[in-house]
């Protein structure tokens, strides 16, 4: 009997069929995994929307705006202090500040 005779075709055919079934099962499992990931992601997004949780991009944008506002605020504070110092050094500024304080 040779290895390619009728006796060897049966087990080889069964192994080929088994390998094909396993390949199909692996492909189906990957499809199920992708579907589950999509469902979990959608459910997570719905949950975050219900809880009013901001997305990272929105958070970072607001954080950057706040940092810019803080910088501008510090700049304006310095300018205000400089202007107040200049006003205080003007002739007659002392009487003007006393009048303002007594009225306020």
Average pLDDT, the chain: 83
Residues 49 and 91 in one domain: no
Calpha distance 59→67 (Å, rounded): 12
Q: Where are the alpha helices (DSSP H) in 51-92?
A: 56-88
Residues 84 and 63 in one domain: yes
Rg (CA), the chain: 39
Q: Are 41 and 33 in contact (CB under 8 A)?
A: no
Q: Are 21 and 15 in contact (CB under 8 A)?
A: no
Residues 39 and 65 in one domain: no
Q: Which domain holds residue 42?
A: 9-53
Residues 74 and 43 in one domain: no
pTM score, two decimals?
A: 0.41
Q: Are 87 and 93 in contact (CB under 8 A)?
A: yes
pLDDT-derived band at 1 (thresholds 50, 70, 90) equals: very low
The answer to the question of residue 3 being in a domain is no
Lowest mean pLDDT among 6-10, 21-25, 60-64, 87-91: 6-10
pLDDT-derived band at 48 (thresholds 50, 70, 90) equals: confident
Closest CA to 93 of 102, 82, 84, 80: 84
The mean per-residue pLDDT over the stretch 20-40 comes to: 90
Q: Are 57 and 66 in contact (CB under 8 A)?
A: no
């Amino acid at each position: 009997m040779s290895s390619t005779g009728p006796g060897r075709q049966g087990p080889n055919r069964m192994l080929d069929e088994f390998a094909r079934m396993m390949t199909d099962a692996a492909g189906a499992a990957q499809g199920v995994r992708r579907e589950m990931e999509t469902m979990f992601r959608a459910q997570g997004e719905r949950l975050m929307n219900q809880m009013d949780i901001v997305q990272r991009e929105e958070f970072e944008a607001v954080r950057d705006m706040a940092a810019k506002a803080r910088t501008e605020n510090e700049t304006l504070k310095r300018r205000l202090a400089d202007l107040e110092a200049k006003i205080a050094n003007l002739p007659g500024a002392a009487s003007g500040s006393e009048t303002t304080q007594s009225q306020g």
